[in-house]
C-alpha cells in the first residue's frame, strides 16, 4: 500500500493534527475530532455543522470558516461520526440563533445526526434543524443508503447556506435555502480506479485496467454499470445524460456546474472533462452561470470524477458569490 | 491507460478549452496556447508571464489573474512552449512598465524564454527581465537541466512577484523580489508512483510496489535514491532534512511552508505529511509564518509530494498576504 501515512489506525487523527498546524484560523478539538471556526460561536448567527466519514477531504473540515461551516465532525474513514461529536459541536457553535445540521444521506450519518438532534432537544435549548442531501441520480438505494446518496451537492449546500447564515438569516430561512439547493441539485460520478482504505490495505473493489465504473458512490459503492474505458466526451455523456433526464435544468438564472475529482484525478483531466460537459450543456440549452472545477468531495485515492448541477435563481447565485474564507474554498 | 481524455494528441488543447469555458475572467488564445487575464494589458503595471510544459496543472494557467500572472504559455506535455508564444504574450501583456518572465530552470524553457526576450528586444520597445527558479535541492544536474531544477518555489515566486507588480512597483523592483524569493527558497519531492504521459501510454519509469523515489523531478526525472516505502514521518525527514542542510531557515520573519501534492495525492495524506513536517520544523527552531497545502505544481497523475520552504521577511509576508484572484489561488 503506497500511501503517505503513518499507522493506518491513526490516519484521521494525524490528518487533523496537520489541519490544526496548517490553519491557525481553525480550532481543532482532537479528543472529539471536531474542526471549528476559531471565532465560533458567532453571536446571533445560525451555526452550521456538518460531518461524516473521513476520506472525502477537503469535505468537510476544509469548508469550515466564515461564509461556510462553523464546525465539521470527522468520523473514521468512511464511517459516520458518533452522536456525541455532533452534540458537542451543536452546543459549541450555537450563537443563540440555532444550528443547522447538513447531513449526507447515508444510513449511519442520518441516524447519528438525528440522535444528536434529539439529545440537543433533551439537554439544551438550542434549536436544531437539519437538511439531508440526496443528489446522486446513479442509484435509488445502495450500500449504506436508503434513497439516493448525498454527494457533490453537499459542497454547494454548505457554501450557499453558509452565506445565508452569514447574512444573519433565521434558522428557518437558512434551512429553506439549503433544502432548495438540494432539491435543485443532481449529481453522478464515475471511477477509473478503486480507492484503498488504509486499514484494509487493499483496493475496495477490483476494477480491471481498461474498465470503469459508471455511477460509483464516494465510498466505492457499486454504480449503474461497468463498461470499457471511453473518451472524455463519452464519459461526459454518460454522466450528464442521466442528470438532465432527471430534472429540467433549462431556464431560471442558469446552473452552477461543478466538476469534481475523486482524489487522484489531475486538474488537466478535470478541465478536459469540463469542456465536454460544457459542450453538452450548451447543446441541451442549459446556461452555465457559475463553475467549480477541482477535487472537493473525494474518495481517498480513487481516480475518476463526478458532475453536479444545481439549478439556480438570482438569490442562489448571490449567495454563491458571497465571500467565503475556508481552507478549500475562498473568494 | 485509464485517463479522462480524448485523443492523447489533443490533451493540452482540450484542457485549454475547458479552462476557457470554466473561467470567464480569463481569455485563452487557442491558436498560440496562451492564457491571459481578461483585462490585460493593465496600464502602468509590470506584466508577469510564465509558462512551460503542460502536465503541471494548475501551474501555470491556474495562476493567471489579478495579483499573480498576466499570461501563461502552455507547451505540450512536459515540453517547453516555443519562443513565438512567449513573444506574443510579452507583447500582449505589456502595459508600458515592462514584462518579467518567470522561468523554471529546464534547458528548453530557459533557451526559449531567452530567445523570446531577444526577439522582443529586436522587434519591440518592451523592457523584458527574467528570473529563473532553481530551488530543488535533490540533484545538481538532471535530465533536462543544468544546475538545480525549478519546482515548488515557482508558485511562490509567481504569487509574491505578482503582488509586487500589482502594487505598481517597477520592473527592476519586481525582478528583485522574484529573485529574492527564489534565492531564499528550497524544495525536495518524492514519488510513490510514476506519472503516465498520455502520448506514451505507459508509466515514465517503473517503480515497484513497496518502493518510492526520493528527490524525484516533476517530469519523473530520477531523484537521489530509490528506497522502500516508509512512514509519513520518515518521508518528511527525508525531504526536510536536505532542505534544512542547504540553507539556514531560522530567524527572519519565519518561513512560508508549502506542502504540494504531485497530482494523484489525496488531501488527507498531504495533511498527515504537513503535521510531520511542522513537527520537524518546530524541533529545528524554524518558525512557520504561512502555509500552503494542496496540489499546485503537479506531474500529471504521479502520487507523491514535495516540500518547499521560503525564508521570508515582513515584506515578503505582506506580498504573500496581498489579495489574489486566480482559478487556483485566491484570497
CATH code of residue B141 = 3.40.50.10440
Record the pTM: 0.97
Which of A94, A95, A86 lies closest to A117 in space, CA to CA? A86
Annotated catalytic residue B56: yes
Evaluate the omega torsion of the peptide bond into residue A207 and state whether it is cis, within 30 degrees of 0. Answer: no
Same domain membership, residue A170 and residue A78: yes
Question: Is the ipTM reported for this complex over the cut 0.95?
Answer: yes
The residue ranges of DSSP E strands in B3-46, in sequence order, are 26-29, 34-37
Which of B33, B31, B107 lies closest to B64 in space, CA to CA? B33
pLDDT at B205 over 80: yes
DSSP letter, residue A142: B
Which of A195, A325, A214, A179 lies closest to B268 in space, CA to CA? A195
Q: Tell me which chain A residues have a C-beta less than 8 angstroms from the C-beta of B295.
A: 267, 295
Average pLDDT score over residue span A36-42 = 97
Q: How far, CA to CA in Å, does B87 sit from each of B27, B90, B91, B119? A: 17, 5, 6, 7
The residue ranges of DSSP E strands in chain B, in sequence order, are 26-29, 34-37, 47-54, 71-77, 99-104, 128-133, 185-191, 211-214, 225-228, 255-261, 288-294, 304-311
Q: What are the pLDDT digits (tens) for B149-199?
A: 999 999 999 999 999 999 999 999 999 999 999 999 999 999 999 999 999
The residue among B163, B184, B205 that closes a domain is: B184
- Rounded CA gap, B33 and B40, in Å? 16
pLDDT grade for A144, boundaries at 50, 70 and 90: confident
Inspect the interface and report whether the beta carbons of A267 and B305 lie closer than 8 Å. Answer: no
Chain B interface, mutation test: which of A17, A18, A26, most B Cβ atoms within 10 Å? A18
Q: Give the Cα-Cα-Cα angle B271, B275, B276 (nearest 5 degrees).
A: 120
Per the prediction, chain A carries an average pLDDT of 97
B61 in any annotated domain: yes
Torsion sign, CA atoms A63, A65, A70, A74: positive
Same domain membership, residue B177 and residue B29: yes
- Rounded CA gap, A249 and A251, in Å? 7
Q: Is A251 in CB contact (< 8 Å) with chain B?
A: no
* A201 min Cα distance to partner chain B (Å): 12
**What is the residue range of B153's domain?**
12-184
Q: How far, CA to CA in Å, does B68 sit from each of A93, B21, B327? A: 36, 21, 11
* B94 min Cα distance to partner chain A (Å): 27
Average pLDDT score over residue span B228-232 = 97
pLDDT at A111 over 80: yes
Average pLDDT score over residue span B39-59 = 98
* B59 min Cα distance to partner chain A (Å): 10
A251 in any annotated domain: yes
* B24 min Cα distance to partner chain A (Å): 9
Same domain membership, residue B116 and residue B141: yes
A313 in any annotated domain: yes
Of B3, B21, B330, the CB nearest to A269: B3
Chain A residue with the nearest C-alpha to that of B293: A22
User: Please, which residues 205-244 of chain A have a Cβ atom closer than 8 Å to chain B?
Assistant: 209-210, 212, 229, 231-233, 235
Same domain membership, residue B75 and residue B60: yes
Strands B128-133 and B185-191: unpaired
Same domain membership, residue B195 and residue B158: no
Same domain membership, residue A146 and residue A197: no
What's the burial of A208, exposed, middle or buried (CB within 10 Å: 0-12/13-18/19+)? exposed
- How many domains in chain B? 2
Per-residue pLDDT, B209: 87
Per-residue pLDDT, A222: 83
Inspect the interface and report whether the beta carbons of B19 and A271 lie closer than 8 Å. Answer: yes
pLDDT at B143 over 90: no
| Residue from B23, B30, B56, B275 carrying the catalytic annotation | B56
Q: Check which CATH number belongs to the domain holding B221 and give it.
A: 3.30.1180.20
Inspect the interface and report whether the beta carbons of A303 and B2 lie closer than 8 Å. Answer: yes
pLDDT at B142 over 80: no
Contact residues for B17 (Cβ-Cβ < 8 A; gap 6+): A271, A275, B28, B30
pLDDT grade for A72, boundaries at 50, 70 and 90: very high
Same domain membership, residue B189 and residue B178: no
Chain A interface, mutation test: which of B7, B22, B301, B326, most A Cβ atoms within 10 Å? B22
Average pLDDT score over residue span A121-149 = 92
Annotated catalytic residue B101: no
Q: How far, CA to CA in Å, does B71 sit from each of A55, A163, A315, B32, B38? A: 36, 32, 34, 12, 10
Residue B224 has a CB neighbour count (10 Å cut-off) of: 16
Please tell me whether residue B93 adopts helix, strand or coil conformation. helix
Which of B47, B54, B48 lies closest to B33 in space, CA to CA? B54
- Rounded CA gap, A312 and B80, in Å? 41
Same domain membership, residue B109 and residue B38: yes
Cell numbers linked to B203: 508509466
Q: How far, CA to CA in Å, does A224 sit from each of A134, B102, B139? A: 17, 47, 48
B107 in any annotated domain: yes
Per the prediction, chain B carries an average pLDDT of 97
Q: Is B98 in CB contact (< 8 Å) with chain A?
A: no
* A123 min Cα distance to partner chain B (Å): 34
A92 in any annotated domain: yes
Which runs of consecutive H residues, i.e. helices, occur in A145-298? 153-166, 171-183, 232-246, 267-283
Which of A132, A166, A174 lies closest to A149 in space, CA to CA? A132
Per-residue pLDDT, B139: 87
Same domain membership, residue A200 and residue A79: no
Q: Is B273 in CB contact (< 8 Å) with chain A?
A: yes
Evaluate the omega torsion of the peptide bond into residue B91 and state whether it is cis, within 30 degrees of 0. Answer: no
Same domain membership, residue B213 and residue B119: no
Q: Is B201 in CB contact (< 8 Å) with chain A?
A: no
CB B302 within 8 A of CB B262: yes
Of A263, A264, A271, the CB nearest to B22: A271
The residue among B128, B153, B184 that closes a domain is: B184
pLDDT at A1 over 80: no
Same domain membership, residue A196 and residue A261: yes
Q: What are the pLDDT digits (tens) for A286-319?
A: 999 999 999 999 999 999 999 999 999 999 999 9
- Rounded CA gap, B223 and B214, in Å? 6
Of B5, B275, B288, the CB nearest to A14: B275
Q: Tell me which chain B residues have a C-beta less than 8 angstroms from the C-beta of A272.
A: 4-6, 11, 14-15, 18
Which of A148, A95, A154, A198 lies closest to B272 in space, CA to CA? A198
Per-residue pLDDT, A325: 98
Per-residue pLDDT, A178: 98
Return the exposure string of B142-171: e unless at least 16 CB atoms fall within 10 Å of the residue's CB, then b: bebbeebbbbbbbbbbbbbbbbbbbbebeb
Q: Is A158 in CB contact (< 8 Å) with chain B?
A: no
CB B297 within 8 A of CB B50: no
CB A151 within 8 A of CB A135: yes
Backbone phi and psi for residue A97, each to the nearest 5 degrees, phi listed first? -110, 5
What's the burial of A96, exposed, middle or buried (CB within 10 Å: 0-12/13-18/19+)? middle
CB A139 within 8 A of CB A215: yes
Per-residue pLDDT, A156: 98
pLDDT grade for A281, boundaries at 50, 70 and 90: very high
B206 in any annotated domain: yes
Chain A interface, mutation test: which of B12, B209, B267, B295, most A Cβ atoms within 10 Å? B267
Torsion sign, CA atoms A135, A162, B263, B35: positive
Q: How far, CA to CA in Å, does A311 sit from each of A158, A188, A275, A319? A: 16, 15, 19, 13
Average pLDDT score over residue span B308-318 = 98
CB B98 within 8 A of CB B126: yes
Of B4, B193, B301, the CB nearest to A235: B4
Chain B residue with the nearest C-alpha to that of A301: B266
B173 in any annotated domain: yes
Chain B residue with the nearest C-alpha to that of A292: B22
The residue among B145, B161, B184 that closes a domain is: B184
Overall size of chain A counted in residues: 331
* A301 min Cα distance to partner chain B (Å): 6
Cα distance from N-terminal residue to C-terminal residue, chain A: 37
- Rounded CA gap, B329 and B331, in Å? 7
B166 in any annotated domain: yes
Q: What are the pLDDT digits (tens) for A225-274?
A: 999 999 999 999 999 999 999 999 999 999 999 999 999 999 999 999 99
Same domain membership, residue B153 and residue B26: yes
User: Please, which residues 16-45 of chain B have a Cβ atom closer than 8 Å to chain A?
Assistant: 16-19, 21-23
Q: Tell me which chain A residues have a C-beta less than 8 angstroms from the C-beta of B21.
A: 274-275, 278, 288, 291
Amino acid at each position: 500500500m503506497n500511501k503517505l501515512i503513518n499507522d493506518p489506525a491513526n490516519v484521521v487523527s494525524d490528518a487533523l493534527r496537520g489541519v490544526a498546524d496548517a490553519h491557525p484560523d481553525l480550532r481543532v478539538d482532537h479528543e472529539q475530532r471536531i474542526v471549528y471556526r476559531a471565532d465560533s460561536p458567532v453571536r446571533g448567527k445560525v451555526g452550521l455543522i456538518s460531518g461524516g466519514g473521513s476520506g472525502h477531504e477537503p469535505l468537510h473540515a476544509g469548508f469550515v470558516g466564515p461564509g461556510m461551516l462553523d464546525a465539521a465532525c470527522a468520523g473514521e474513514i468512511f464511517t459516520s461520526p458518533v452522536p456525541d461529536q455532533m452534540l458537542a459541536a451543536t452546543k459549541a457553535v450555537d450563537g443563540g440563533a440555532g444550528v443547522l445540521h447538513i447531513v449526507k444521506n447515508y444510513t449511519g450519518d442520518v441516524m447519528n445526526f438525528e440522535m444528536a438532534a434529539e439529545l440537543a432537544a433533551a439537554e439544551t435549548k438550542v434549536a436544531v434543524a437539519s437538511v439531508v442531501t440526496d443528489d446522486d441520480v446513479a442509484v435509488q438505494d445502495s450500500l449504506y443508503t436508503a434513497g439516493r446518496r448525498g454527494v457533490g451537492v453537499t459542497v454547494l449546500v454548505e457554501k450557499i447556506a453558509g452565506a445565508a447564515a452569514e447574512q444573519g438569516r433565521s434558522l428557518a430561512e437558512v434551512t429553506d435555502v439549503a433544502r432548495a439547493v438540494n432539491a435543485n441539485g443532481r449529481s453522478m460520478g464515475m471511477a477509473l480506479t478503486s480507492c484503498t482504505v488504509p486499514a484494509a490495505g487493499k483496493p475496495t473493489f477490483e476494477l480491471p485496467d481498461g474498465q470503469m465504473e459508471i455511477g460509483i458512490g464516494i465510498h466505492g459503492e457499486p454504480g449503474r454499470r461497468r463498461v470499457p474505458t471511453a473518451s472524455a466526451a463519452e464519459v461526459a455523456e454518460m454522466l450528464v445524460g442521466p442528470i438532465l433526464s432527471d430534472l429540467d435544468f433549462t431556464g431560471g438564472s442558469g446552473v452552477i456546474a461543478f466538476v469534481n475529482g475523486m482524489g487522484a484525478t489531475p486538474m488537466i483531466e478535470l478541465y478536459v472533462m469540463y469542456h465536454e460537459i460544457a459542450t453538452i450543456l450548451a447543446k441541451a440549452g442549459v446556461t452555465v452561470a457559475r463553475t467549480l472545477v477541482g477535487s472537493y468531495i473525494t474518495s481517498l485515492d480513487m481516480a475518476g470524477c463526478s458532475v453536479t448541477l444545481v439549478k439556480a435563481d438570482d438569490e442562489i447565485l448571490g449567495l454563491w458569490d458571497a465571500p467565503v474564507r475556508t481552507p478549500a474554498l475562498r473568494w
